[in-house]
Structures are given as C-alpha cells and as structure tokens.
Amino acid sequence: MKRQFLLACVIAICSGASFALDLSGTVLLTDRSVGQSGVMVSLASTGASTLTNSKGEWTLSGSARAIRPRIERIRGTSHLAVNGGQILLSYAGRDLVGQSHMSDVEYPMPTRPVGARSTSSAVDTLVYSFGEKIFLRDTVSASRAGIIRTYDTTWNPSVTYGYLTDIRDGQVYRTVKIGKQIWMAQNVNSALAGACPGANFAVAPGSADSCSKYGRLYTWVEAMSLSSNYDTMEWGGGDAGHQGICPTGWHIPSDPDWTEMQNVVDVKNMLAATRLRSTSGWLGPVGSDVYGFRSLPAGNRNKDGSFSNMGIIVFFWSSSGEGAESARSRYWGAGEAEEDMSRDYYKINGFSVRCLKD
C-alpha cells in the first residue's frame, strides 16, 4: 500500500537536559547612586540563590533547562515519490511532463526537516526579592556578566519583563507585551536628538524623582524628531510607524496604536487608567498595574517652560498631529476612570513618550 508521510517539527522542552549559567550583576537604588545590599537573586527553575553585598553586587552559578526540537511523524498526503532512486513530483500519477510512473512505492523520510533547530538554548527566570518580597523577574537565556537592575518596588512583580538597550546612548528600558503589541514599560529618557542633543529637552525638577524615574519630557516635534517649524505648522507626514526619538526598531505610537492597547486593557476604557497606573508614586489613589505598563505621574512642561502636575497626571504623546499647533495625546490622573483618555494639546507642551515595537 502506498505510504506517505508529512513531517512536522514540534519544539518542546526536554526534561532533564540543562545548561550551565554563570551570572553576575549589580542592584542599584532608583537614582543609581549606590548599590542595594541584601537583595536575594535566585533562579526560578533550580532555586539557586545569592545575596547582594554592600555594593549591591552579586554572582550566581546554576543551570537552566534546554529547549530542543522534537520531530513527530504525522500521517498526511504528498505529491513526492521515489522511483528508481529518484525523487519525483507527481499529481494524479503523472509527472510534470505528463508521463505516468509508479506511485505505489515507499520512500524514506528525512530524520529532520530542512531548517529545523539543530542547537539548544536555555531559558530561565531570575527572581529579585528584598525582605521576602519579590520586586522583579528577569528572563535569562545565556551566561551574562554586568547585569544592572534597580531596586524599585513600583514594578509589578508578577510580570516578567523584556529588556531593550538603545545602542545610541546605552539606555536600558524594560518592555512588556500587551495583547499583540510590545511596549516600553518605561518612559523615554534619551538626550540624543536634533542638532544640539539635550539642549531643547525639558527635564522634570528634582534628582531621583526626575529623569531616572520619569524619563524626560518632550515637545511633540522633539518626540517626532522634526524641525521646530512644525510647532506651529501642520506636518504632512504619516503617523504610522514613525520612529522619531525611539530606538531603531521602535516607533512613536499613533492614536490608533494607543486605542488598540486600551481596548485590550479595558474595551470600555472605564478601568484602563487604573490598570495602566503604577501601584505607587501617585498623590492620590494608585493603580493596579495589571499589565505591567507602570505609568508614573511625570506631569508636564508648560509652554512658558514651567512644570506642573507631577505626582498627579501623566501625559503621553502620539504621532498623530491635529492641525498646525496641536497633536493627539493620552492622559490620565490619580484615581481617574476616564472613558475617553485621548485629547488634543499644543505641540509645544512637554509630555512623556513611550515607544512601540515595529
């Protein structure tokens, strides 16, 4: 009887297989001035752990489970056959030139499909805790040295964050997946833009509670990396996928991008603000931060250069311009349950920026 098979490669975790991991790093305070001692760093799969020293430094050796391909044979149909030592392509018993040939033959199947993964990789989770309270989870896939993290209890300890390094200035940002989108979980803090880097960017007042915590505040044209002429002139470019001040591979979210995310968080948007706010840092009711977006109340920079609303409201630019002097933004405040968090503001205002992965 004719026997035909179709191979499928199914990736599965092979129990028992593991790789060695040699890890080291430093846990710093939020302003990155000094290290935090007494933080426990552990591997989730094995429980191997260590404590940070007086400088916040730690080293850890352990192992992680390996991921390898597993091949399964699944019965199916095929138009390939072997005849006389040759592989033939046929349909209804005839080849490409219309000649008939034997089709009731058995042919060997390859032991591995072309393109199947031939190497193994390791995945594990680093868990950071202080006083028996988890404040951070990290994904690790290989031995690493010099991992820099901050002791910051405003993060959701139930979320395993990704990380993005901006190669332009070395800034490291946490990332989080919400629905099908991948967002920065921190505000942009880049001083690399324009002809005079940093000179036109507004920085919220303070030290630990400014750039290192809230990121920077940008006018719309600074966020979009456009000429200042567009402060009072309509920009004719498209708002979809515009990189602006974001790192390569990321872009300023458009108004529809924001809407897509909010619909995942809460389709009616009545609870979106609460679910997107951080669990601390607000002068008023805090949020639940269910999705790990961790919006903090950075406030805004006004047209006259003064600052306001820190601790009370957060504003985020979108890439969607609205006429000559305005652009679309998202905003929410402490304790607010807003059905519509989208507003037009003057582009000269300084707001926070989040980037979305391309």
Q: Kindly report, residue by residue over 233-276, the tens digit of the pLDDT.
A: 999 888 899 999 999 999 999 999 999 999 999 877 678 888 99
Confidence bin at 71 (pLDDT 50/70/90): very low
| Lowest mean per-residue pLDDT among 4-13, 67-76, 174-183 | 4-13
| Lowest mean per-residue pLDDT among 25-34, 291-300, 310-319, 331-340 | 331-340
Q: Round the CA-based radius of gyration of the chain to a whole number and report it.
A: 27
Number of domains into which the chain is organized: 2
User: Do 204 and 126 reside in the same domain of the chain?
Assistant: no
pLDDT at 74: 40
User: Do 128 and 198 reside in the same domain of the chain?
Assistant: no
Average pLDDT of the residues of the chain: 77
Residue 324 lies in a domain: yes
CATH code for the domain of 126: 2.60.40.10
Q: Of 153, 170, 197, which marks where a domain is finished?
A: 153
DSSP string, 142-194: S-EEEEEEE--TTS-TT--BEEEE-TTT--EEEEEEETTEEEESS-------S
Residue 168 lies in a domain: no
Taking 50 as the threshold, does the pLDDT of residue 102 lie above it?
A: no
Taking 50 as the threshold, does the pLDDT of residue 126 lie above it?
A: yes
User: Do 145 and 218 reside in the same domain of the chain?
Assistant: no
Q: Of 138, 153, 168, which marks where a domain is finished?
A: 153
How many residues comprise the chain?
Answer: 358
Over residues 66-77, the mean pLDDT reads 44
User: Do 143 and 186 reside in the same domain of the chain?
Assistant: no
More confident of the two residues 160 and 87: 160
User: Do 75 and 189 reside in the same domain of the chain?
Assistant: no
Over residues 61-67, the mean pLDDT reads 62
User: Do 122 and 185 reside in the same domain of the chain?
Assistant: no
Residue 257 lies in a domain: yes
Tokens (6 digits) for 320: 């969607």
User: Do 204 and 343 reside in the same domain of the chain?
Assistant: yes
CB atoms within 10 A of CB 219: 24
Distance CA 331, CA 347 (A): 14
The answer to whether 188 and 245 are in contact (CB under 8 A) is: yes
Sequence-distant contacts of 195-202: CB under 8 A, at least 24 apart? 200/228, 202/301, 202/305, 202/307, 202/350
Domain range enclosing 273: 181-357
Q: What is the pLDDT of residues 302-355, one digit of tens each?
A: 888 788 888 888 999 999 999 899 999 999 987 666 556 888 999 999 899 999
Q: What percentage of residues in the chain have a pLDDT greater than 70?
A: 70
pLDDT at 270: 76
pLDDT at 120: 38
User: Do 185 and 104 reside in the same domain of the chain?
Assistant: no
User: Do 108 and 189 reside in the same domain of the chain?
Assistant: no
DSSP string, 220-254: HHHHHT--GGGGSS---S--TT--TTSPTTEEPPP
Taking 70 as the threshold, does the pLDDT of residue 358 lie above it?
A: yes
Q: What percentage of residues in the chain have a pLDDT greater than 90?
A: 37
pLDDT at 95: 56
pLDDT at 89: 54
Query: Kind of pairing, strands 121-130 and 57-75?
Result: antiparallel
Taking 90 as the threshold, does the pLDDT of residue 205 lie above it?
A: no
pLDDT at 9: 29
